[in-house]
Amino acid sequence: MFHQLKALLDLPLLFLHLKQIHCLVLTSPIFYTRRDLFLSRLLRRCTAATQFRYARRLLCQIQTPSIQLWDSLVGHFSGRVTLNRRLSFLSYRQMRRNGVVPSRHTFPPLLKAVFKLRDANPFQFHAHILKFGFDSDLFVRNSLISGYSNCGLFEFGSRVFDGTEDKDVVSWTAMIDGFVRNDSSLEAMTYFVEMKRSGVAANEMTVVSVLKATRKAEDVRFGRSIHGFYLEAGRVRCDVFIGSSLVDMYGKCGCYDDAQKVFDEMPSRNVVTWTALIAGYVQGRCFEKGMFVFEEMLKSDVAPNEKTLSSVLSACAHVGALHRGRRVHCYVIKNSIEINTTVGTTLIDFYAKCGCLEEAILVFERLREKNVYTWTAMINGFAAHGYAIGAVDLFHTMLSSHVSPNEVTFIVVLSACAHGGLVEEGRRLFLSMKERFNLEPKADHYACMVDLFGRKGLLEEAKALIERMPMEPTNAVWGALFGSCLIHKDYELGKYAASRVIKLQPSHSGRYTLLANLYSESQNWDDVARVRKQMKDQQVVKSPGCSWIEVKGKLHEFIAFDDKKPLESDDLYKTLDNVGVQMRLPDELEDLTSQS
């Protein structure tokens, strides 16, 4: 009977069957002497089946549970669910009340649960580690380094690392990853070099972490050295995980050919790999390629995730590819993909930039959850369509919904005030940043205010605001003042603002062109010639303007003064010429009427 039951517990059983075995063990006298043994086996099966509450009740029926059983229960509770993590604490507390001394296997899963809960105190468990003498155990110390680094207490993780004598690859990787998470990419790369000098061999996790640092620092030379030394030399296995990191690193550093080459050479790809390539193209403004890769991804039967959808919708928004973006939206609906805040925000931005404000509003209203990015995208949609008052009203609705604005929200709503001429409202919002929301205005916020004052003709007030700025004015600030001077024909102040802009952006062709236009409007032809000569001497080349148009789902790019335009675009250019003639026709008729 004993042997059959032991064999039965090794088989895959339903939870109902486990409860039946539990009843048999408790009610049959023949199991009395070996009850703890069978209950212990049942406990492990229940925790493996995620029946944690039942497992805790089972544990209470065992007379002398071993430390291995307690460790098993604590470890299984430290999962992804917040409630289970709290049960991990309760199990540890019950274990200590029963007088059981923890082992080296107790603390790593317990620390994992502690560091993932915001209201937990990791220092009390660190004190227990010191109390029971596990502070010298490398397994426990690595858990402390990783935990402190991941939850924003990086300074304490660094102290534990510095106090560790025999550092292994896990110690170094935890430290490097901690630097990356705390936006200290250069330090992460430095520690990687120190690890290599100390003779510790990197593993796959180390390479992935340092590639993240390389991507954030945009140091492609360092990334290439890692690619060559570790991957091409065969020191670590280039799996999908590392391959995706390489594609991401090359893409974010602007080396799209290298990213595509790594992608093409990978034997297998997952959604992360495809998303990394798409995001790299989109970030590099290669929108057409990003959309093409997404279509190839769908043909490969790889289901996109929220990051993939956000990237491709962002590409559609930038070039106004309404048809393609709608196809993506239809794909989401057809495949019953939940439109969460990430995808919903990108959809709102896409429809607003493509001129479909009503559809953007519809997506916004149907979203179950809205965060500050969602509200900001919708406010920006109203502002971009010229509804300044609507943008401000939506901003106040956001506040009444108990959503706090961020710095980007204020840039958007202040820009709306500038374009709508809402000077007093803009003043109030600008002052409320620091007084009400504890947000320090940045240079971009000052640029919005300069634009607001300048458009209304309050040029002296705009100049006074620039002089009061707590930081050095940026090109955006001086550019806003310069643009206002052009509108209101204040040539002297305009020349002063232009000189500051050109000093900050000596290679920006648009600044020289606007300055030449200012001189030409004031009929100062000598200065026009001087600006043109200055552009030529500094080899500043004017970038040609370009635009996109979508015809039957196909995207066409038009570049100004492009002699290499395709033959099939001739009809489009003729149509545009006819439109231009018709636009000028009413003015010409009005002139003829006034003359007669």
Among 217-226, 254-263, 348-357, 506-515, which stretch is predicted with the lowest mean pLDDT?
Answer: 506-515
Asked if the model's pLDDT at residue 216 lies above 80, the reply is: yes
> Confidence band (pLDDT; 50, 70, 90) for 109?
confident
pLDDT per position as a tens digit, 498-508:
777 767 655 55
pTM of the model: 0.73
Among 382-391, 476-485, 514-523, which stretch is predicted with the lowest mean pLDDT?
Answer: 514-523
The per-residue pLDDT for 278 is: 95
The per-residue pLDDT for 104 is: 84
Contact 501, 478 (CB under 8 A): yes
Asked if the model's pLDDT at residue 494 lies above 80, the reply is: no
The per-residue pLDDT for 204 is: 87
57: helix, coil or strand?
Answer: helix
Q: Can you tell me the mean pLDDT for 341-366?
A: 95
Look over the chain and give the mean of its residue pLDDT values, rounded to a whole number: 80
68: helix, coil or strand?
Answer: helix
Cβ burial, residue 299 (10 Å; 0-12/13-18/19+): exposed
> Confidence band (pLDDT; 50, 70, 90) for 103?
confident
533: its two tokens: 């000569």
Asked if the model's pLDDT at residue 401 lies above 90, the reply is: yes
Asked if the model's pLDDT at residue 511 lies above 70, the reply is: no
What is the percent of the chain with per-residue pLDDT over 90, rounded to a whole number?
42
The per-residue pLDDT for 162 is: 87
The per-residue pLDDT for 45 is: 60
Asked if the model's pLDDT at residue 125 lies above 90, the reply is: no
Q: Can you tell me the mean pLDDT for 440-462?
A: 93
Owner of token pair 């231009």 = 580
Asked if the model's pLDDT at residue 539 lies above 60, the reply is: no
Q: Can you tell me the mean pLDDT for 280-292?
A: 92
Closest residue by Cα to residue 480 from 429, 426, 529, 434: 426
274: its two tokens: 């495809």
> Confidence band (pLDDT; 50, 70, 90) for 105?
confident
The per-residue pLDDT for 522 is: 63
Asked if the model's pLDDT at residue 263 lies above 90, the reply is: yes
The per-residue pLDDT for 385 is: 94
**Read out DSSP for 469-526?**
-SS---HHHHHHHHHHHHHHT-HHHHHHHHHHHHHH-TT-HHHHHHHHHHHHHTT-HH
Which of 284-293, 343-352, 570-579 is the most confident on average? 343-352
Asked if the model's pLDDT at residue 470 lies above 80, the reply is: yes
The per-residue pLDDT for 489 is: 79
CA distances from 506 to 443, 444, 451, 491 (A): 20, 20, 22, 20
pLDDT per position as a tens digit, 68-93:
667 766 665 555 544 455 666 677 77
The per-residue pLDDT for 122 is: 78
Listed in sequence order, the residues at least 6 apart from 513 whose beta carbon sits closer than 8 Å to its beta carbon are: 542
More confident call, 169 vs 554: 169
The per-residue pLDDT for 3 is: 54
The per-residue pLDDT for 295 is: 93
The per-residue pLDDT for 81 is: 45
